[in-house]
Amino acid sequence: MKLHVMRCGIIRVSDSVVFGGGVNLHNTAKQLLTPERARVALPVFCYLIEHPRGLLLVDTGWPRAVSPAGVYDEQAVSRLLPRYLAAFYRPFVPAGETAREQLEAMGIRPEDLACLILTHLDPDHVAGLRDLAGAKRIVLPEDEYFWACRTVYKARQPWPLWKDAPIERLFYRGSPLGPNRWAIDLFGDESVQLVNVPGHTDGQAAVIVRHGSRFVLLAADAAFTPRNWREDLLPGFGFDEAFQRKSLGWLAEMERDPGCAGIFCSHDADMTPQVVEF
């Protein structure tokens, strides 16, 4: 099995996103008010998996519309996102780096994707949906969808980015996997499982892709770097610290599993695009 780790844009945020030490108003304010020069650039990773059932893409990254010339373009960003989210993410995508452009360079059209898996509905993970219409399936945990229409998520996950996409909502079920013991077995053969890792959002999924006794774990935003679980450093952006801790504890447990071929965080600044065979 082959995993392509693809960088599909950059966000520029306050360092409290990565190491804020918990979810509180101070961190939220800091994330919005941190000036340009004090921000850290974080990659936005998506993943292409060459699976026996077809090509799978996990998350979308940013579309070309957010960054028409490949650099930060405040006006283009604010056409896509409300002002407060534009100020939060300050995203751009260098030329050739959107998911669609990278797939095209590999000779892959959106219609060639057997399944596009969305880990959660934050803009940096779904804004590229507009570029990927045609994927045979687009799947999302029902629990993530349920909350996206309610409470604080309504402000955090703007509907125009994803509401009209033909998203198939799948229910988590009881499972030995994950901090909540809740997972979706995508093909019914345990080869691809969406495991609920709450904390960053309620319904967020990490994705486990298994080949024989080996697996890779795509952690989405349950952690921003392995340091979050290895050094017990809590991120500063999410909705629930207790759940964040539980999810980090589970990642630590999975990393100790001898079958683990790697845990990948969507915004790990120390990670580079790569191809992993396992």
- Contact set with Zn ion (CB under 5 A): 124, 221
Query: Least distance in Å: CB of 176 to Zn ion?
Result: 27
- Whose Cβ is closer to Zn ion: residue 51's or residue 200's? 200
Beta-bridged to residue 43, according to DSSP, are 10
Q: How many CA atoms lie within 13 A of 120 on its CB side?
A: 27
Query: Least distance in Å: CB of 59 to Zn ion?
Result: 8
Query: Least distance in Å: CB of 221 to Zn ion?
Result: 4
203 in the Ramachandran plot: left (φ > 0), alpha (ψ -120 to 50) or beta? alpha
- Whose Cβ is closer to Zn ion: residue 59's or residue 131's? 59
- Whose Cβ is closer to Zn ion: residue 1's or residue 129's? 129
Pair type for strands 173-174 and 168-170:
unpaired
Residue 92 is given by DSSP the state B
Q: Give start and end residues of each alpha helix (H) in the chain.
A: 16-19, 25-33, 74-80, 83-89, 99-105, 123-126, 142-148, 153-156, 227-230, 241-255
- Whose Cβ is closer to Zn ion: residue 1's or residue 58's? 58
Query: Least distance in Å: CB of 112 to Zn ion?
Result: 25
For 149, residues 6+ apart whose C-beta sits below 8 A from its C-beta are none
Query: Least distance in Å: CB of 259 to Zn ion?
Result: 26
d(CA 53, CA 65): 31
- Whose Cβ is closer to Zn ion: residue 124's or residue 143's? 124
Beta-bridged to residue 205, according to DSSP, are 196
- Whose Cβ is closer to Zn ion: residue 186's or residue 265's? 265
Query: Least distance in Å: CB of 182 to Zn ion?
Result: 21
Q: How many CA atoms lie within 13 A of 149 on its CB side?
A: 5
